[in-house]
Amino acid sequence: MSESNDTGEKKSRLGAGKPLRLRRTVESGLVRQNFSHGRSKAVVVEKKRKRTIAPVPGEQSATVAPVPAAEEKPAAPAKTDAVKTATADSQPDSGVLHTLTASERDARAQALAEAKMRDAEDRVRAVEEEKNRAEREKQAEKERAEREAQAAKEAEQRSAEEMRHQSEKPTVAPRKGPPASERAAAPERQKKAKPERQQPSRKGQPKRRRGKLTIANALDDAPRQRSLASLRRQREREKQELAGSNEPRRKVAREVVVPEAITIQELSNRMAERGVDLIKYLMQQGQMLKINDVIDADTAQLLAEEFGHVVKRVSEADVEEGLVGDIDDEADMEPRPPVVTIMGHVDHGKTSLLDTLRETNIAAGESGGITQHIGAYQVTTDAGQVITFLDTPGHEAFTAMRARGANATDIVVLVVAADDGVMPQTAEAIKHAREAGVPIIVAINKIDKTGADPTRVRNELLQHEIVLESMGGDVLEVEVSATEKTNLDKLIDAISLQSEILELKANADRAGDGVVIESQLDRGRGAVATVLVQRGTLRVGDIVVAGAEWGKVRALIDERGNSITEAGPSMPIEILGLSGTPVAGNQFAVVGDEARAREIVEYRKRKLRDVRVAGGPARGSLEQMMIDLKSSGLAELPLVIKADVQGSAEAISGALEKLGTDEVTARIVYAGVGGVAESDVTLAATANAAILAFNVRANAQAREASARNSIEIRYYSIIYDLVDDVKAVMSGMLSPELRENFLGNAEVLEVFDISKVGKIAGCRITEGKVERGASVRLIRDNTVIHEGKLSTLKRFKDEVREVNAGQECGMAFENYHDLKQGDVIECFTVQEIARSL
């Protein structure tokens, strides 16, 4: 019976009918990985845990003893006792007894053996991972110690250098505590004593982990290491505290150069102060200014002294000091080619003579056969000598061009035609040469023409105090013929002889400077200036200031259109790259940098603007302007002038201003260089002016705007045609001259008062005749008391056109009836005669 109960308990304990299962030894979980800027990511990881098998009550079961140390080897799996099977006697009232089969016992034994083997493997793997982690921590500690030692060493070196630099300054009492070397080495001692302090996370976020995320890293709870940048920042703070950098920085007093006018921005730069502080101080003083506003020297001085700086007052014109440079030493001077200017009256053969010397044909390309531009050329003689020629216009309108040519030259060749003799522009050229102080060589041209008389030319030159060598003077003379090429070699010899006497020299090893001969606005190349280099060498890339314009030289073009890299003394050259067209006759010079160029140009533009404002009329209301015009009685012809070159625009403006009188004048609204643009038409429409285009044309937009606004554009290629047309228009603006023609006198015999008509004077014609509609004067006691027109002239009862002397007639005045017996009526007509300039 006991065996039966024992067998039943075993059956119920084994759980017959249930499958045999093993618990999972691997569990999965989520680990959140955090990145910078608040980003995070969930990562799935697997975690192995130790398998434990609970023993069955009443049975002997093999249990795995825990491993006491990591170094112990896993124990071999123990043999399990055989499961006893009891066979009970079958009884009729007992249930069916189930026993384990042999296959089931083998499967259970095998499962238990495999579980023990996996547990042993897990223990071995855990021991290896623990060992590897210990080695990694040891290596990391070693590297961290090396980095801290290196950082401490660098900090000691920097602190020693700063202490050496601060030796001259007042010393700062050091803080109490260990020296810097001990403080730098403190982390190493603290590292051995206690673990390093963990830095807090930023903005409450989890700590950032570096390196590849693994199961070991995810489950590692070791504190986070400090970065090298953090250590560097700490050492820097300690060094600044040691040097006493917490004290306020000492203010540096500077010497501030203050011109007559300066912007707040520029003043703040010179003072090394913030512009906001200057504006704030001005606002406290009641001045609301911006950073780009200009202040005077007194205000600038007040600001600089308020901020603790020393002020040095200078004149605004000091910006041009040293622009041209000092006088060169005689040891640096080298011979240079002479600059020769061809001058004389119009159509005396100046350009033809230069064409023959250069073997070109410039005269054929000039409009009207006259030179209207100043040209610069170089000629190489048969002997190898280089001569620079300047060809000037001979027309009377180009006085300024001739004056510039005389001032920029070494020798003047005065060309006089043998058949014309000395003309007005010839005398003017002599005057310009004397004012410039340059020697003159007289070239008597056209000796091959019929009627040529060189002797007459010599005698006429005596009237202008020009005594030639043939007449016992010291002025060289050469009789030449440009068309026949006669005595041209003698002219070259005379120029060479004169240049040798002058001993012309210049220093080529310095910054270039010279004079602007001509300027124009080219559509494809922009602003182009023809200059003559007088000293130094001009190179591509130099920064040039020419008058009120500046720019970086982009290209240098010689007289024949070739691009070169540099130009020496006495060489004419075209400069490309200027910001605008400079005025012909201005000096140009090379400066060191763009800042100085801008400063000089701004000063010159401001100076020109002040002169223009000071010379112009005072501004007022439109009503006041109209009253002034009516009171002055001056008629104005507004004009807009566009020319191909600066010299032509200047010459046209000067010629038109000379046409003005007390009654009519030409007002130049704008004179510029370049083609006629739409903006020029808009300006002309605003000023109700006409546009004069000299050797330029209008573009399509300008033509459409002129047709839309009814603005006339006149094109010219010869300057005297332009001057003649403007002169004719101004002559038509003159008020006509009134001429009075006497007709006759009549005496009033009786006055009749007729109703609905008024008073009628019965008169007798005493002298001449009286015509109906003529002007009359009423004279009483030899005094003119009325002047008007006749409204009625009757003979008997008929209206007549005129009444002759000795006849009687009736006369009535327009709107006047104060007639008395004995009055004298004078009859006359008024004739208008057109005037001209």
Mind listing the pLDDT tens digit for each residue in 679-711? 889 888 888 888 999 888 888 888 998 888 888
- 679 vs 559: CA distance, rounded Å: 33
Question: Cα torsion at 223, 229, 230, 231 (round to 10°)?
Answer: 100
C-beta of residue 518 within 8 angstroms of C-beta of residue 581: no
Take residue 268 and report the two structure tokens written for it: 């703040």
C-beta of residue 415 within 8 angstroms of C-beta of residue 669: no
Question: Cα torsion at 172, 178, 184, 189 (round to 10°)?
Answer: -170
SS3 104: helix
Take residue 629 and report the two structure tokens written for it: 């015009």
pLDDT-derived band of residue 632, with 50, 70 and 90 as boundaries?
low
What amino acid is encoded at 827 in this protein? Answer: C
C-beta of residue 207 within 8 angstroms of C-beta of residue 224: yes
pLDDT-derived band of residue 545, with 50, 70 and 90 as boundaries?
very high
- 401 vs 237: CA distance, rounded Å: 73
- 83 vs 3: CA distance, rounded Å: 15
Take residue 653 and report the two structure tokens written for it: 């403006």
Q: Which residues of the chain does CATH 3.40.50.300 include?
A: 337-503
- Range ranked top by mean pLDDT from 141-145, 259-263, 755-759: 141-145
Q: Is the pLDDT of residue 52 over 70?
A: no
| φ, ψ of residue 379 in degrees (nearest 5) | -125, 130
pLDDT-derived band of residue 367, with 50, 70 and 90 as boundaries?
very low
What pLDDT is attached to residue 400? Answer: 61
Which secondary-structure segment (H or E) carries 491? helix 488-502
CATH for the stretch 513-613:
2.40.30.10
Q: What's the sign of the alpha-carbon dihedral 109, 110, 114, 120?
A: positive
Question: Cα torsion at 357, 361, 365, 367 (round to 10°)?
Answer: 50
DSSP, res 92? T
Q: Which residues of the chain does CATH 2.40.30.10 include?
A: 513-613, 737-833
Q: Which residues of the chain does CATH 3.40.50.10050 include?
A: 622-732
What pLDDT is attached to residue 551? Answer: 92
Question: Comparing 121-130, 153-162, 324-333, which segment has the lowest mean pLDDT?
Answer: 324-333
C-beta of residue 599 within 8 angstroms of C-beta of residue 542: no
Average pLDDT, the chain: 76
- 583 vs 518: CA distance, rounded Å: 8
Burial of 618 (0-12, 13-18, 19+ CB in 10 A): exposed
The string of DSSP codes covering 411-475 is EEEEEEETTT-S-HHHHHHHHHHHHHT--EEEEEE-TTSTT--HHHHHHHHHTTT--BGGGTSSB
What pLDDT is attached to residue 397? Answer: 46
What pLDDT is attached to residue 543? Answer: 92
Give every CB contact of residue 575 below 8 A, 6+ residues apart in sequence.
528, 529, 530, 531, 538, 544, 546, 551, 553, 556, 588
- 416 vs 430: CA distance, rounded Å: 11
So what CATH class is 337-503?
Answer: alpha beta
Beta strands 543-546 and 587-591 are: antiparallel
Give every CB contact of residue 153 below 8 A, 6+ residues apart in sequence.
184
SS3 537: strand
pLDDT-derived band of residue 410, with 50, 70 and 90 as boundaries?
confident
Tally of CB atoms within 10 A around 357: 21
SS3 323: coil
What pLDDT is attached to residue 261? Answer: 79
CATH for the stretch 622-732:
3.40.50.10050
- 692 vs 726: CA distance, rounded Å: 10
What pLDDT is attached to residue 114? Answer: 87
DSSP, res 24? -
Q: Residue-wise over 200-237: b if at least 16 C-beta within 10 A, else e?
A: eeeeeeeeeeeeeeeeeeeeeeeeeebeeeebeeebee
Q: What's the sign of the alpha-carbon dihedral 445, 449, 451, 455?
A: positive
Tally of CB atoms within 10 A around 479: 19
C-beta of residue 592 within 8 angstroms of C-beta of residue 543: yes
Question: Comparing 168-182, 541-555, 712-726, which segment has the lowest mean pLDDT?
Answer: 168-182
CATH classification for the domain delimited by 737-833, as one of 2.40.30.10, 2.40.240.10, 1.10.620.20, 3.50.50.60:
2.40.30.10
Take residue 308 and report the two structure tokens written for it: 């603790």
Q: What is the arithmetic mean of pLDDT over 37-63?
A: 59
C-beta of residue 498 within 8 angstroms of C-beta of residue 439: yes
Helices marked H in 710-806: 719-732
What Cα–Cα distance (Å) separates residue 155 from each residue in 190, 242, 243, 836?
A: 19, 11, 12, 97
What amino acid is encoded at 767 in this protein? Answer: E
pLDDT-derived band of residue 542, with 50, 70 and 90 as boundaries?
very high
- 73 vs 69: CA distance, rounded Å: 9
Percent of the chain with pLDDT over 90: 5
